[in-house]
């Protein structure tokens, strides 16, 4: 695949922003917290900033290596391969979840009679094509998705402004902080902690200092857009927010400007397709590249199509409904994801730092 090149900062900002938003244009984070969901998002983002700093420190130790090569440098070939395999399973699980989100949404809200395996196959074919097109094409696509995401989020928010009721935010102080903190843990694992997937290709984007400056800018921009979406849901839908699986879709359905501008939920769905696909592109690309690096292959093009078929089949069999998807995210995924997102990164940094100190003596 590609060699390391200097990527324009605006493309990296676009990539990070859209990647973090991903399927959030449809699936609202901390939705179960209702009026206090924005607090969970803010708490999760504070944790994420600390972890992002850890990602930067790890990348700075080996600026010319990707995440998979860093594992080999820290642990040696055998243990490094075992750690890499764990990340490959995680990347596969995230890609499967993204495809499942597409399938559940399209099957529930748009093409209700279309077999979910057909939808999964079409989505995966797009993702497979992106992996063959390489990272440069994904970065170009992120710029288009970035513009569409901002226009859609801001446009829908302005169009429902007259339906917003500030009283839906009262009382401002939550009575159960433990629930808010618990929810923030889920929000960190999805979407913020998933930045570890982008970290796996950070070495291709340029020098760590410049790349992580763009990462930070994109992260704050993503936070602003996510908070806009979350607060819009609460202000418009009130307590009904926590009762719907797709609050953005339901909010857009309420738009009716002079009986002329209606059915604007199609723009939300289109935004979801673009931002969700971008996240799928990056996850699947990182998975394919990780396989190449782990097994020292000259190319992995011959593996991309069967790998995509496995993703489609896994999404079809593992998450046939949105309820199972949500249950998996709340009860299992956040605990499992914390290991590759934080624990292994921290251990790798400590081991690599000590190894370099010993070698320097």
Confidence at residue 27, expressed as pLDDT on a 0 to 100 scale: 83
Q: Are 352 and 61 in contact (CB under 8 A)?
A: yes
pLDDT average, residue stretch 325-342: 88
Q: Convert the pLDDT of each residue in 90-128 to its tens digit.
A: 999 999 999 999 998 888 888 888 888 899 999 999 999
pLDDT at 113: 82
What is the predicted pLDDT for the residue at 264?
76
pLDDT of residue 57 exceeding 70, the answer is yes
Rounded-to-integer distance, Cα 159 and Cα 170, Å:
23
pLDDT bucket at 4, cuts 50 / 70 / 90: low
Please give the mean pLDDT across all residues of the chain.
91
- Give the lowest-confidence range in 57-61, 114-118, 305-309, 332-336: 114-118
Terminus-to-terminus CA distance in the chain, angstroms? 36
Q: How confident is the model at residue 243 (pLDDT cuts 50, 70, 90)?
A: confident
Whether the predicted pLDDT of 259 surpasses 70: no
Predicted local distance difference test score (pLDDT) of residue 1: 45
Residue 183: its pLDDT value, please?
A: 93
Alpha helices for the chain (secondary structure H):
9-21, 37-61, 67-75, 77-105, 116-133, 135-159, 177-189, 195-199, 208-237, 247-253, 265-294, 301-318, 322-328, 334-338, 344-360
**Residue 279 pLDDT:** 96
Q: What is the pLDDT of residues 262-295, one digit of tens each?
A: 767 888 888 888 999 999 999 999 999 999 999 9
Q: pTM score, two decimals?
A: 0.94
The Cβ-side half-sphere exposure at 252, using a 13 Å CA radius, reads 23
At residue 300 the predicted structure's pLDDT band, cuts being 50, 70 and 90, is confident
* pLDDT at residue 139, rounded to an integer: 94
* Spatial distance between the Cα atoms of 313 and 249, rounded to a whole number of angstroms: 27
Average pLDDT over every residue of 334-349: 96
With pLDDT > 70 as the criterion, what percentage of the chain qualifies? 97
Tokens of 59: 């990348």
Q: Which of 243-252, 262-271, 319-328 has the highest mean pLDDT?
A: 243-252
User: Alpha-carbon distance 87 to 314, whole Å?
Assistant: 17
What the chain holds in terms of domains, given with CATH numbers, is: 9-360 (1.20.1740.10)
Residue 301: pLDDT band (50, 70, 90) is confident
Q: Is the pLDDT assigned to residue 179 strictly greater than 60?
A: yes
pLDDT classification of 13: cutoffs 50, 70, 90: very high
């Amino acid at each position: 695949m590609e060699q390391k090149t200097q990527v324009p900062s605006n493309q990296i900002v676009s990539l990070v922003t859209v990647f973090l938003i991903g399927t959030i244009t449809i699936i609202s984070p901390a939705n179960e917290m209702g009026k206090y969901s924005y607090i969970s998002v803010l708490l999760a983002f504070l944790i994420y900033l600390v972890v992002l700093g850890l990602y930067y420190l790890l990348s700075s130790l080996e600026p010319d290596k990707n995440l998979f090569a860093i594992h080999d440098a820290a642990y040696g070939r055998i243990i490094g391969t075992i750690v890499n395999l764990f990340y490959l399973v995680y990347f596969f699980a995230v890609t499967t979840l993204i495809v499942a989100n597409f399938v559940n949404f399209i099957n529930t809200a748009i093409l209700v009679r279309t077999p979910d395996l057909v939808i999964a196959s079409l989505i995966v074919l797009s993702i497979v094509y992106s992996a063959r097109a390489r990272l440069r094409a994904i970065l170009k696509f992120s710029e288009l998705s970035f513009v569409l995401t901002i226009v859609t989020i801001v446009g829908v928010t302005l169009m429902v402004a007259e339906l917003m009721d500030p009283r839906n935010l009262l009382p401002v102080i939550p009575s159960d902080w433990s629930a808010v903190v618990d929810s923030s843990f889920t929000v960190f694992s999805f979407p913020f902690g998933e930045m570890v997937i982008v970290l796996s290709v950070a070495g291709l984007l340029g020098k760590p200092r410049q790349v992580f400056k763009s990462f930070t800018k994109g992260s704050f921009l993503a936070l602003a857009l996510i908070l806009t979406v979350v607060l819009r849901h609460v202000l418009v839908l009130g307590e009904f927010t926590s009762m719907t699986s797709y609050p953005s879709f339901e909010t857009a359905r309420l738009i009716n400007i002079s009986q002329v501008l209606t059915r604007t939920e199609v723009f939300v769905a289109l935004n979801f397709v673009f931002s969700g696909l971008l996240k799928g592109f990056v996850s699947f690309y990182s998975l394919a590249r990780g396989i190449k690096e782990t097994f020292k292959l000259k190319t992995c093009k011959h593996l991309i199509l069967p790998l995509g078929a496995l993703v489609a089949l896994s999404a079809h069999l593992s998450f046939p409904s949105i309820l199972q998807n949500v249950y998996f995210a709340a009860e299992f995924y956040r605990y499992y994801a914390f290991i590759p997102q934080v624990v292994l990164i921290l251990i790798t940094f400590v081991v690599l730092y000590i190894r370099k100190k010993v070698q320097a003596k």
